[in-house]
Amino acid sequence: MVKVAFQGERGAYSEEAVVRFFGEAELVPCPVLGDVFKTVSTGQASFGVVPLENSQAGSINETYDLLLSYPLNIYGEVFVRVSHCLVALPGEKLAAIKTVYSHPQAIAQSEEFLRKLNVEIVPTYDTAGSAKMIRDKELKGAAAIASRNAARIYNLEILAEHIETNPNNYTRFVVISEERAKRAEKNKTSLVFAVKNVPGALYSILGAFANRNINLTKLESRPRRDRPWEYIFYVDFEGHREDDAWREALNDVREKATFVKILGSYPRAEE
């Protein structure tokens, strides 16, 4: 059975992404995102599944930084519908809840619901981890924002469900591996590049794609951690790194960019 690392405790949304992509797998929970990358790069797991962006809260910047730092490939992607529940010990009532624990992303995604409650909000490292903590410490008057699966795993009661502000709340997860994915019928490629700090530099590079009718599905800038006030650009586009048009575009990009890294070509997921 394939070993797959993910961030969080059992019942995390990342675990759901693992199951959706792989079906059965030997799960390797990791406390933080960086540990997922370390686990895969040291061979302790063949694959890792990490969140890349949320349709409501935006990109997970730490994941982008780790993709740049580690010599791993994006092997695939999977979209997970994120539906949050407020969970607590059996017998607890919503009116008695004084403290709510969860990951900052889940808190942000449930802001409208939480505003109606007179509670203290405490950020934690993980949604499922918050549920586990309430169960292990038997915290009364406390609740966690977590998944229905986490409530089942930790034998907690669901006080409210579908508490996310946006019903179209999806998280895009990517699968990372030392392996490269095989070409599929529909592919996506991700890369990162840096440009010279001169007028028209980014425009010139984007033209390499536009001139060949390559459809960009994402473009995002991030500060370079090793060079203050310089930026790198993450790009997703439809197509495979071995396509003729993409090879030609890459040659143009390499001539004009100061840095280029292909993060991977992989099967495009359907939302």
Decide the pairing of beta strands 187-195 and 257-267: antiparallel
Q: Which residues of the chain form beta strands (DSSP E)?
A: 3-7, 26-30, 47-54, 58-59, 73-81, 85-88, 99-102, 120-123, 142-146, 157-161, 170-177, 187-195, 216-223, 231-238, 257-267
Which residue is catalytic, options 173, 193, 209, 237?
173
189 is catalytic: no
Residues 6+ apart with CB under 8 A from 234: 64, 190, 191, 192, 218, 219, 220, 221, 222, 263
209 is catalytic: no
Which residue is catalytic, options 63, 171, 209, 237?
171
Instruction: List the one residue out of 237, 243, 227 whose CA is nearest residue 263.
Output: 237
* Structure tokens that stand for 95 in this block: 């009116």
* Structure tokens that stand for 121 in this block: 């909000």
Residues 6+ apart with CB under 8 A from 55: 166, 168, 169, 170, 171, 172
* Structure tokens that stand for 8 in this block: 């969080």
Do residues 264 and 178 touch, judged by C-beta distance below 8 A? no
User: Is 187 strand, coil or helix?
Assistant: strand
Helix axes of 33-41 and 61-69: crossing angle, nearest 10 degrees? 20
Do residues 142 and 99 touch, judged by C-beta distance below 8 A? yes
User: Is 19 strand, coil or helix?
Assistant: helix
Residue numbers annotated as active site: 171, 173
